[in-house]
Amino acid sequence: MLNNKEVNVLIVDDDPFNRHFLTRILSNAGYGVKEATCGEEALVKAKIEKPNLIILDVNLPDITGYEVCEQLKLNPNTEFIPILNITATYTKNEDWVHGLECGADNYLIKPIDPNVLRAIVTTMLKNESIERQLRIALEEADAANDIKSQFLANISHELKTPINVIVSALQMANIIVKDIESLDIKNKLDKYNGMIKQNSYRLIRLINNLIDMTKIDSGFINMTKHNIDIVKTVEDITLSVASFVESKQIELIFDTDVEEKITACDPNKIETIMFNLLSNATKFTDAGGKITVNMFDRKEYIIISVKDTGIGISDEDKDKIFGRFLQVDDTSHRNSEGSGIGLSLVKSFIEMHGGKLTLESTYGKGSNFIIKLPILTIDETKEKKEYSISPNYVDKMKIEFSDIYACS
Ligand code: ADP
């Protein structure tokens, strides 16, 4: 907190007697005082002097104190300076209310009692000091957060290069392994190569998620929308993971009440959303369980539900899992590694499409992630694109499922 000498109060009053009276009280209390005789001078001095408090007469010769208040609050350089309105003319309750609505923080009717003035000024300056310190702390925290985000964005890109080199080198190594004659050595190398590949994919997934996360935070995430048949898209993605899911003795069902529904969306993001929800459903469902992907036509929007008969999510954790870095700690599923970023990205991607993600879940019985996606089409100058799963979808799927499946 500043000591009184470091505190500056600007007194705005056209009456020299009033200015002198107020200046004397505040100077005696140890405050630095500046004076202005009209509204325009007050606005200029507020910007230059940046006082800690303004005592502002409402009845001024040029513009009213109310207008001065409004202009001070509209200017980012002066918006946080507290204002004490004083008046002998505007004494009705509605004047008081109007002053506060214009941005004043307090109101005093003349004649002013010196003790009341000192008490009010002390309280207002105490609050101003706390608010200023909070603002500084917030600015520092924002700056530190920006540095952290920038570092995360840089490091994620830096990590991507070596990991891509590892995966490419591994592909070359796999070609060479094929020529090895000894079956024993070949099998061992295949096993170790598989481990390297799976763990490289897990790193790629983490890095991709971090990159997307930083892009969302900085508002630089690209959406490339096309008018596509969302039913076929979701069906193709679901079927593409069927053998993976079924190899875990989990039944996978796709069902829809509509054959075709054209909507504008980013097919890449839809792939990420679906792979994420399907891999989670697989991760948290035991052998013998079932995953059902249902699509329901609601005319202006489409519902996509990814429902599993897995471990479910407790009421307490339902909201938390859409936040970042959170994983519900379930010791029976600790082999289900992950960073806890996936669902927050899924939620952001759905919201970027104007949609909504909700969760219905009963702990111990299963979960149902429900996507509500609006049906909108865009003017596409180019000819209509037929969606097909991206050519590298097998790799993409393996990356998304890398927490669960060994790669071959
Ligand atoms: P990650 O990126 O690590 O896969 P997510 O954000 O996708 O993490 O998921 C966060 C947490 O939400 C998971 O660790 C798990 O506790 C819970 N969760 C997500 N999907 C399911 C599901 N289908 N069944 C049970 N729990 C789930």
Q: Determine the pLDDT at residue 334.
A: 45
Residue nearest to atom 20 of ligand 1 (CA): 280
* Ligand 1 atom at minimal distance to the Cα of residue 281: 23
Q: What is the distance in A from the centroid of ligand 1 to the CA of 352?
A: 21
CATH of domain 4-112: 3.40.50.2300
| CA 311 – ligand 1 centroid, Å | 11
The residue contributing the CA closest to ligand 1 atom 7 is 342
Q: Which residues line ligand 1 (CB under 6 A)?
A: 276, 280-281, 284, 308, 310-311, 313, 321, 326-328, 338-343, 367
Of 328, 330, 337, the one to substitute when testing ligand 1's pocket (max ligand atoms within 8 A of C-beta) is 328
> Is residue 10 predicted with pLDDT exceeding 60?
yes
8 alpha carbon to ligand 1 midpoint, in Å? Answer: 55
The residue among 270 and 331 whose pLDDT is bigger is: 270
Mind listing the pLDDT tens digit for each residue in 358-386? 999 999 999 999 999 999 988 876 555 55
pLDDT digits (tens, 9 = 90+) for 87-104: 998 889 999 899 999 999
**Ligand 1 pocket test target in 280, 305, 314, 371 with most atoms within 8 Å of CB:** 280
pLDDT of 382: 57
Q: What is the dihedral of CA 157, 160, 162, 163, to 10 degrees?
A: 160
Q: Which residues pair with 301 in a beta bridge?
A: 298, 374
The mean pLDDT value for 199-215 works out to 87
By alpha-carbon position, which residue is closest to atom 16 of ligand 1?
A: 328
Mean pLDDT of the chain, nearest integer: 89
CATH classification of 226-400 is 3.40.50.1100, yes or no?
A: no
**What is the atom index within ligand 1 of the atom nearest the CA of 336?**
14
| Residue of minimum CA distance from atom 23 in ligand 1 | 281
Taking the centre of ligand 1 as the mean of its atom positions, its distance from the CA of residue 282, in whole angstroms, is 10
pLDDT per residue over 302-350, tens digit each? Answer: 999 999 999 999 998 888 888 876 666 555 454 455 667 889 999 999 9
Distance 401 CA to ligand 1 centre (A): 13
Cα 206 to middle of ligand 1, angstroms: 14
Tell me how far the alpha carbon of residue 329 lies from the centroid of ligand 1, in angstroms: 10
Tell me, in angstroms, the distance from the centre of ligand 1 to residue 343's CA.
7
Expressed in angstroms and rounded, the spacing between residue 83 Cα and the centre of ligand 1 is 50
Q: Taking the CA atoms of the chain, what radius of gyration do you get in angstroms?
A: 32
* Closest atom of ligand 1 to CA, residue 403: 4
According to the 3-state scheme, what is the secondary structure of the chain? Answer: CCCHHHCEEEEECCCHHHHHHHHHHHHHCCCEEEEECCHHHHHHHHHHHCCCEEEEECCCCCCCHHHHHHHHHHCCCCCCCCEEEEECCCCCHHHHHHHHHCCCCEEEECCCCHHHHHHHHHHHHHHHHHHHHHHHHHHHHHHHHHHHHHHHHHHHHHHHHHHHHHHHHHHHHHHHHHCCCCHHHHHHHHHHHHHHHHHHHHHHHHHHHHHHHHHHHHCCCCCCCEEEEHHHHHHHHHHHCHHHHHCCCCEEEEEECCCCCEEEECHHHHHHHHHHHHHHHHHCCCCCCEEEEEEEEECCEEEEEEEECCCCCCHHHHCHHHCCCCCCCCHHHCCCCCCCCHHHHHHHHHHHCCCEEEEEEECCCEEEEEEEEECCCCCCCCCCCCCCCCCCHHHHHHHHCCCCCCCC
175: phi then psi, degrees, rounded to nearest 5 = -65, -45
pLDDT band of residue 40 (cuts 50, 70, 90) is very high
What pLDDT does 407 receive? 56
**19 Cα–ligand 1 center, Å:** 66
Probe residue for ligand 1, chosen from 327, 344, 405 as the CB with the greatest number of ligand atoms within 8 Å: 327
Name the burial class of residue 334, with classes exposed (0-12), middle (13-18) and buried (19+) by CB atoms within 10 angstroms of its CB.
exposed
Residue nearest to atom 13 of ligand 1 (CA): 327
123-145 confidence digits (pLDDT tens): 999 999 999 999 999 999 999 98
Q: Is the pTM of this model over 0.75?
A: no
Q: Is the pLDDT of residue 301 over 90?
A: yes
